[in-house]
Amino acid sequence: MSNVQAVKGAPTRLSGLLTMMAGVLLMTSCSLVAGGDGGQEQGSTSAPGGSSEPSSASATEEPSDGGATSSASDGGGTAAPASVGTRCAENDGWAVVVAQGEVDCATAASVIADYEDTEDIAPGGRPANPESVQGWTCEPIIFAKMGFEPDTYTSWCQSGQRAIMTMDARTELPATGTIRKPSDFSLHGLGDKEAHWGFMSPSGSWYCGLVDNPRPEDGLPSGAHCFVIDSTGIPGTDVEQPGGGGTATAVSLDDTVATAEPYYSGDLALVFVLEQTPVTLDYGEVLYARGGACTIDREAGVTCTYGGRGFTVSTHRGLSTS
């Protein structure tokens, strides 16, 4: 999984989605993983690549082997609703995913297909914002490469407490909790194009961000980044600091490294927190943006995935990578 390079909105955009709807209820989704806050945890660390399913925002249970799958018929000819995290359809490198509530997969695929009707969208374009589709309110959430082409977008459709979205099909979601709307966490962008999505942990120990930046010399490189807000640092690390070595205060998983790397960040985290006032991501919830995803677990710490790799970090148990 890496940042999406194809232009969404071109004639290939989910062009086969309606054809796939007949078999959509037989598809199986990927196994998912739980992550966590780590500012006050007491349990074992959960690294990306396994699966867990927190039952609520305050869940503290140990990881299980459960994973979301597309819903099957209930035996009476009616499609059973699919739960959060279920991948209902995939086409052209993008997946239709249940983000909030329960939605039957046929409905999810149909709503997204109607919204992204390629006959009405020019190559490189995007659908209307907002638009009513089958009783759902849909909008594009624009992921911009800091003003560079091509732009890509996630389609987000809401109906009451239910929501569906599209995401890079290579994304490994780190938990099966409610997926939050990316634009609610946008900290920086160019016009309607978003480029940095950040959040605070419930304990206040961590600030983390998903970044889309093709010019790392101008700031954080594209990827997932987490910073310790208090003075504890990341145990088990020894990195270069002004005046000598010391405990790392940040971890970065981006396009420039093979695995997540700890480092000393100085006051960079405070800059984000004081200047941007990021929103809190609750325990068990998931933030997805531009091919990356993060979650927080009360026990395990913060878990983020990006580019087929991942990390779990905690102020009590340190850093694990995959």
pLDDT, tens only, 214-255: 566 667 788 999 999 877 789 999 998 887 888 999 999 988
Token pair belonging to 129: 């914002």
Residue 276 has pLDDT above 80, yes or no: no
- Nearest CA among 163, 252, 169 for reference residue 216: 252
Instruction: Determine contact, residues 262/246, Cβ cutoff 8 Å.
Output: no
Instruction: Determine contact, residues 251/239, Cβ cutoff 8 Å.
Output: no
Specify the range with the lowest mean pLDDT, choosing from 7-16, 226-235, 255-264, 266-275.
7-16
C-alpha 116/C-alpha 126 separation (Å) is 8
- Nearest CA among 206, 190, 219 for reference residue 304: 206
**pLDDT mean across residues, the chain:** 75
Token pair belonging to 117: 């009707």
Residue 72 has pLDDT above 90, yes or no: no
C-alpha 249/C-alpha 269 separation (Å) is 9
Q: How do the domains of the chain map onto residue ranges?
A: 182-321
C-alpha 253/C-alpha 103 separation (Å) is 33
Q: Are strands 309-314 and 318-321 parallel, antiparallel or unpaired?
A: antiparallel
Token pair belonging to 104: 């039957």
Residue 267 has pLDDT above 70, yes or no: yes
User: Distance from CA of residue 188 to its chain's centroid?
Assistant: 17
Instruction: Determine contact, residues 295/34, Cβ cutoff 8 Å.
Output: yes
66 to each of 53, 71, 133, 251, how far by Cα in Å?
Answer: 6, 14, 32, 28
Residue 177 has pLDDT above 70, yes or no: yes
C-alpha 137/C-alpha 174 separation (Å) is 27
Residue 52 has pLDDT above 50, yes or no: no
Per-residue pLDDT, averaged over 28-54, amounts to: 37
Helix H or strand E encompassing 16: none
Instruction: Determine contact, residues 46/35, Cβ cutoff 8 Å.
Output: yes
Residue 286 has pLDDT above 90, yes or no: yes
Give the global pTM. Answer: 0.75
Q: What pLDDT band is residue 152 in, cutting at 50, 70 and 90?
A: confident
Token pair belonging to 91: 């086409």
Residues 247-251: contacts with CB within 8 Å, 24+ apart?
248/319, 250/225, 250/226, 251/225, 251/226, 251/311, 251/313, 251/319
Per-residue pLDDT, averaged over 42-61, amounts to: 33
C-alpha 77/C-alpha 74 separation (Å) is 7
Token pair belonging to 148: 């560079």
Residue 317 gets the label, from left (phi > 0), alpha (psi -120 to 50) or beta, of alpha
Preceding peptide of 150 cis, ω within 30°: yes
